[in-house]
Structure 1
Amino acid sequence: MAAAEPKPPAGAAAAAARRLARGCWSAFWDYETPKVIVVKNRQLGVVYRVVQLLILLYFVWYVFIVQKSYQDRETGPESSVITKVKGITSSEHKVWDVEEYVKPPESVRVTNATCDSDEDCVAGQLDMLGNGVRTGRCVPYYHGAFKTCEVSGWCPVEDGASVSQFLGKMAPNFTILIKNSIHYPKFRFSKGNIENRKDNYLKQCTFDEVSHLYCPIFRLGFIVEQAGENFTELALKGGVIGVIINWDCDLDLSASNCNPKYSFRRLDPKHVPASSGYNFRFAKYYKINGSTTRTLIKAYGIRIDVIVHGQAGKFSLIPTIINVATALTSIGVGSFLCDWILLTFMNKNKVYSHKKFDKVCTPRHSPGSWPVTLALVLGQAPPPPRCCSTDPGRPQEEGQSQAQAVPPPQPCPTSAPPEQMVDIPDRGAEPGPWASEPSQQDSTLTDPRGLAQL
């Protein structure tokens, strides 16, 4: 049997956990500041400038010019719509005017009307989608062998038999007045789609997008044509046409630039046989020999739905500041992308990484050292000594330049005294006395730039 591995003492695990917690707590208070490095690389510079240019074009052209993001906006105006229909046509048997062909819609559907016996029909029950109040009798239907519940209502009930009178010849010349007014409460702006004139302008004009924009009198044939439909086919089975009025207003300009834009399209499902078209029913009542009689008419027609939407915008300082700040921040994406390329795909990525990232150990001075620190910040005192050097005891070779003798900076060892910190190497590397007598270095080394080398 294999011997059981000894478990580490509980105190060691607790000490390791405390060290990890102290390290995380210490790292939480670290401060990171960017370090600027100029890389002489034409390809990387082209990528950087192209990314910056694209970001600037996006914000200047799309965000500020197209979207007008410097404006405060309000969507969904308060709106009212009034419609009037005018026109006269005739069929084989009569003349039809507005009172004949303009009616409110009605839907009729009978459910659970079949029965086998009287017990299936509850007397007095009223089906709101049926044709009357049930009498409690189960009677044979008009056609076929099945039975249905008898109702007290108009006889006969609708059975689909009708006389078709097509009004599609003159109907395209019917006119519809669509009176619309909108209001944007945030900006206290109101406007209507009818021109404010005292003459008989509305009695003589019809809508034209160029010459008569504020004459909202539309021919029915024009509406159907703009919706891309054939009037004869649409009038045969009926349909729903939407008139969309869009009010997009830039209130930084004058009110005359806020104009309605009309569009038209069919709203009902044209290619679905089960629900295609539009129809409604209405009745006409009269008396014959003292008995009240009615004529039930199922009419196929064209329904007009007017839909109003829009948005208004006006300059505001808050969205302008937010979008400008976003644009300036987004330019940093170019630096992020180029840094990623520089540190990942370039041949000397390790050299660039070594130059880009430095770790500075802040010295812990006594309270009486504040004047020295202030002088150091002002560049009037020598910088603190380096934490470490690669080989301080090796003398500089004769003829070697001063820049070549500078060893690369090394990270601070954990056992370094608290007075040490990482710094960029000095102009020259001194032999043994520099490393063995750090107390003499403060009096011998000078750095007129102070912390400029950090």
Structure 2
Amino acid sequence: MAAAEPKPPAGAAAAAARRLARGCWSAFWDYETPKVIVVKNRQLGVVYRVVQLLILLYFVWYVFIVQKSYQDRETGPESSVITKVKGITSSEHKVWDVEEYVKPPEGGSAFSIITRIEVTPSQAQGTCPESVRVTNATCDSDEDCVAGQLDMLGNGVRTGRCVPYYHGAFKTCEVSGWCPVEDGASVSQFLGKMAPNFTILIKNSIHYPKFRFSKGNIENRKDNYLKQCTFDEVSHLYCPIFRLGFIVEQAGENFTELALKGGVIGVIINWDCDLDLSASNCNPKYSFRRLDPKHVPASSGYNFRFAKYYKINGSTTRTLIKAYGIRIDVIVHGQAGKFSLIPTIINVATALTSIGVGSFLCDWILLTFMNKNKVYSHKKFDKMVDIPDRGAEPGPWASEPSQQDSTLTDPRGLAQL
């Protein structure tokens, strides 16, 4: 029977634990610093300095000057928009004022100016031929029309009769609804003759709550300044009264074509404010562009319908109006920035850290492509060995003398890299 192995005394284990604790405590207060090796190689030195210079220029010019990354920023200001349109125009049959051609009349950030209408007068509840634009509306006999059928894109409930159309030799199914239908009796009227001279007041105020900064786009004057001015980017920046023709022209559109088919124009107000400067340097910048897909025939243009109701001999009748117009969407965006210590420290630290990319690149070139890459590797990387306790015989962990020791006496060394 094998003899039991002797247990180490308790005092030896406690002593080993104390030595370990003292070693950890002593190592805690050690200072470590990276090893620096100077490589005498002009080509590598040029690469190293060029990379450092490019990184430095990037941070100084782009990050700090262009992007102003030393600032705390707020995007998307709180904004309010009030609009007002003025002007009169006429069509073939009447004179139109603001109350009739501006929809909706509240004066918000999105409104429409009617430039052409298709009027279907004197519609009343009754029966009439369906529009030929409705799917399966054409017919040859009553059998082609199903009584009670309701087409969601049609103008009423089918009666089951096939009747002659308003004009032409063909027939369509009869429907019960508002008659006559739009296609059969509508009359077109153009309102855009004087529309380019309409004036639009766009009153805008913004607020950046983080910086407690507010400003508006109207000159703070007590005289009749707004009654005498129109917008000019140089001389009347704070007179936000725009001619409709000017807006369409700045958006790159032909006014007559736009008035006939309708369209959506965006008035973009940009408030980019550097609050390290005075408030007078925070000014609105206006731009204009068309928002609806002009080159997509299926979805370009803009129109909507509305009706005006009245009674004749106790019967309700209406005038249906299909309106084409120019819709104006006022869009406000921007950002404000002000110096802050935290983003400045973060970006400076990032810049200093990024400069080390040059060292990484040069190390890679040395270790991969240079003739003396092994010499550089021995100089840069120390290879540690496990040293046994004193008095003990060399164990399996003892290593042979490092190859680094042999390179220390190499007279050709790194100076030949």
Structure 1 residue 103: Cα displacement: 2.5
Q: Is the 8 A contact 1:115 1:121 kept in 2?
A: yes
User: How far apart are the structure 2 equivalents of 1:293 and 1:267?
Assistant: 37
Q: Which has more strand, going by share of residues?
A: 2
Change (3 A) 1:234 1:159: same
Q: 2:346 aligns with which of 322, 325, 330?
A: 322
1:85-124 paired onto structure 2 within 5 Å: 85-104=85-104
User: How far apart are the structure 2 equivalents of 1:128 and 1:224?
Assistant: 36
Q: Is the 8 A contact 1:109 1:129 kept in 2?
A: no
For the pair shown, which has the larger CA radius of gyration, 1 or 2?
1
User: How far apart are the structure 2 equivalents of 1:352 and 1:444?
Assistant: 10
Change (3 A) 1:430 1:283: closer
Q: Is the 8 A contact 2:378 2:403 kept in 1?
A: no
Change (3 A) 1:14 1:132: farther
Q: Is the 8 A contact 1:182 1:190 kept in 2?
A: yes
Q: Is the 8 A contact 1:423 1:453 kept in 2?
A: no
Instruction: Report the counterpart of residue 188 of structure 1 in structure 2.
Output: 212
Structure 1 residue 347: Cα displacement: 1.4
Q: Which has the higher contact order (CA 8 A, sep 6+)?
A: 2
Percent same amino acid at aligned positions? 100
Aligned length in residues: 393
Structure 1 residue 344: Cα displacement: 1.3
Structure 1 residue 157: Cα displacement: 2.6
User: How far apart are the structure 2 equivalents of 1:2 and 1:430?
Assistant: 27
Q: Is the 8 A contact 1:107 1:280 kept in 2?
A: no
Structure 1 residue 220: Cα displacement: 0.3
Q: Please give the secondary structure, in 2, of the residue aligned with 1:433.
A: coil
Q: Identify which range, 48-57 or 77-86, moves more after superposition.
A: 77-86
User: How far apart are the structure 2 equivalents of 1:94 and 1:78?
Assistant: 42
Change (3 A) 1:43 1:19: farther
Structure 1 residue 223: Cα displacement: 0.2
Change (3 A) 1:441 1:330: closer
Q: Is the 8 A contact 1:70 1:316 kept in 2?
A: yes
Q: Identify which range, 242-251 or 143-152, moves more after superposition.
A: 143-152
Q: Is the 8 A contact 1:132 1:152 kept in 2?
A: yes
Q: Is the 8 A contact 1:103 1:282 kept in 2?
A: no
Q: Is the 8 A contact 1:240 1:267 kept in 2?
A: yes
User: How far apart are the structure 1 equivalents of 2:400 and 2:264?
Assistant: 97
Q: Is the 8 A contact 1:115 1:138 kept in 2?
A: yes
- Residues 203-262 of structure 1, C-alpha deviation per residue, up to 9 Å, x if partnerless? 111111111111111000000000001111111111110101111111111111111111
Change (3 A) 1:444 1:43: closer
User: How far apart are the structure 2 equivalents of 1:75 and 1:257?
Assistant: 18
Q: Identify which range, 424-433 or 60-69, moves more after superposition.
A: 424-433
Instruction: Report the counterpart of residue 438 of structure 1 in structure 2.
Output: 401
Change (3 A) 1:446 1:40: closer
Q: Is the 8 A contact 2:375 2:413 kept in 1?
A: no
Q: Is the 8 A contact 1:107 1:281 kept in 2?
A: no
Q: 1:426 aligns with which of 386, 389, 393?
A: 389
User: How far apart are the structure 1 equivalents of 2:47 and 2:358?
Assistant: 8
User: How far apart are the structure 1 equivalents of 2:255 and 2:211?
Assistant: 42
Structure 2 unpaired stretches of 5+: 106-129
Structure 2 length-normalised TM: 0.71
Q: Is the 8 A contact 2:407 2:413 kept in 1?
A: no
User: How far apart are the structure 2 equivalents of 1:343 and 1:441?
Assistant: 16
Q: Identify which range, 91-100 or 221-230, moves more after superposition.
A: 91-100
Structure 1 unpaired stretches of 5+: 360-420
Q: Please give the secondary structure, in 1, of the residue aligned with 2:233.
A: coil
Structure 1 residue 59: Cα displacement: 0.3
Structure 1 residue 268: Cα displacement: 0.7
Instruction: Report the counterpart of residue 40 of structure 2 in structure 1.
Output: 40
User: How far apart are the structure 1 equivalents of 2:76 and 2:292?
Assistant: 24
Instruction: Report the counterpart of residue 259 of structure 2 in structure 1.
Output: 235
Change (3 A) 1:445 1:318: closer
Change (3 A) 1:337 1:297: same
Structure 1 residue 91: Cα displacement: 2.1
